[in-house]
Amino acid sequence: MTSPPILDVKGLKKHYPIHGGLWGSTIGHVYAVDGVSFSVTKGETLSLVGESGCGKTTVGKTILRLTEPTGGEVLVDGNRIDNLPVSELRPLRKRMQVVFQDPFSSLNPRLKVREIIAEPMLNFGMAKSASEMTDRVAATLDKVRLPRDAMRRYPHEFSGGQRQRIGIARALGTDPDLIICDEPVSALDVSVKAQVVNLMSDLQQELGLALLFISHDMAIVEHMTHRVAVMYLGKIVEISDRRSLFADPKHPYTQALLSAVPVPDPTVKRSRIILKGDVPSPIRPPPGCRFHTRCPYVFDRCRTEEPLLREVAPGQLAACHLHDTAASKAA
């Protein structure tokens, strides 16, 4: 039996109004996130992937209420949080933490590491004395494999990878159930990316965390996720378990993304699919399938009718009319 989701996102929308004209009235919208649904269970990593500008970071911000949703629902343990007053979000902030992309700007350079890691714990009254707080910070540094004397130093004394470990330690301090990681390794050197990703993967298993891992890097995702949701222009076009997605992607956009990922096994050949044109503007997304302006398999129906995300193979959901065609031919 699968466990109930910690995080359940249903039809989430974030449309940013565009103001203009003489009176500053609303003249359009940026459809950054346009009806996104997925769930994450305890002990699971779900990766949200796609090119820059596809809306994946906005999904993370909207779940955390760093920006207000335009529509849809966000549930934590079955309770809606998208419509809670900000004053009632406090207990949830303890349970849901975030690790940001840039370990250079996300840590306060004027604070020592002890204060940086202790701050969220202090906010939630998690230690009764200074010595208890020091013990908690030390235990958190142990979890991220940093020496305990790191707490007496400043962020600038650490490398990028170590700073991101400090960011992860800060997130772990409140004993969260869910961590939203927004491109946590994209600012790091190639050589340290793998170390930080492996650490997150180990922590996820040791602590039974749920991770929402937002990334544009399919090669990173391949090694640390359970399931993958692929976003294009504000919508999810495919959700699959990792193995199926990398072995047999069902959506033409996923196929194109994966074709650019190097394969370590020289006997396996992946032919590169070069997509034509640029991603259309989220202000005027194309009608029908949003991918139709770049899809190598486009046909008439794609230009007028939006494909729905539905199961096309066990464990694999895709939004593409090709699978209707294939199913009708097989029938």
The Cα–Cα gap between 317 and 314 comes to 8
Instruction: Give the one residue of 28, 297, 300, 310 binding ligand SF4; rule: CB under 6 A.
Output: 297
By the rule CB under 6 A, 327 interacts with ligand SF4: no
Beta strands 178-182 and 210-215: pairing type?
A: parallel
Instruction: Give the one residue of 69, 184, 252, 282 binding ligand SF4; rule: CB under 6 A.
Output: 252
By the rule CB under 6 A, 317 interacts with ligand SF4: no
Which residue pairs from 281-287 have beta carbons closer than 8 angstroms and sit at least 24 positions apart in sequence?
A: 282/30, 282/31, 282/32, 282/53, 282/55, 282/233, 282/234, 283/18, 283/28, 283/29, 283/30, 283/31, 285/31, 285/34, 285/233, 285/234
The Cα–Cα gap between 13 and 73 comes to 9
Identity of the amino acid at 56:
K
CB of 322 to ligand SF4, least distance (A): 5
Q: Indicate the residue among 247 and 308 with the shorter CB distance to ligand SF4.
A: 308
Neighbour-count burial of 306, counting CB atoms closer than 10 A to its CB (0-12 exposed, 13-18 middle, 19+ buried):
middle
Instruction: Give the one residue of 64, 81, 99, 320 binding ligand SF4; rule: CB under 6 A.
Output: 320
Q: Indicate the residue among 155 and 252 with the shorter CB distance to ligand SF4.
A: 252
Positions in 169-198 near ligand SF4 (CB under 6 A) = none
Q: Indicate the residue among 139 and 313 with the shorter CB distance to ligand SF4.
A: 313
Instruction: Give the one residue of 150, 200, 258, 302 binding ligand SF4; rule: CB under 6 A.
Output: 302
Q: How many chain residues bind ligand SF4 (CB under 6 A)?
A: 12
Structure tokens at 29: 């919208």
By the rule CB under 6 A, 232 interacts with ligand SF4: no
By the rule CB under 6 A, 275 interacts with ligand SF4: no
Query: DSSP 3-state assignment of 92?
Result: helix
Binding site for ligand SF4 (CB under 6 A): 252, 289, 291-292, 295, 297-298, 302, 307, 320-322
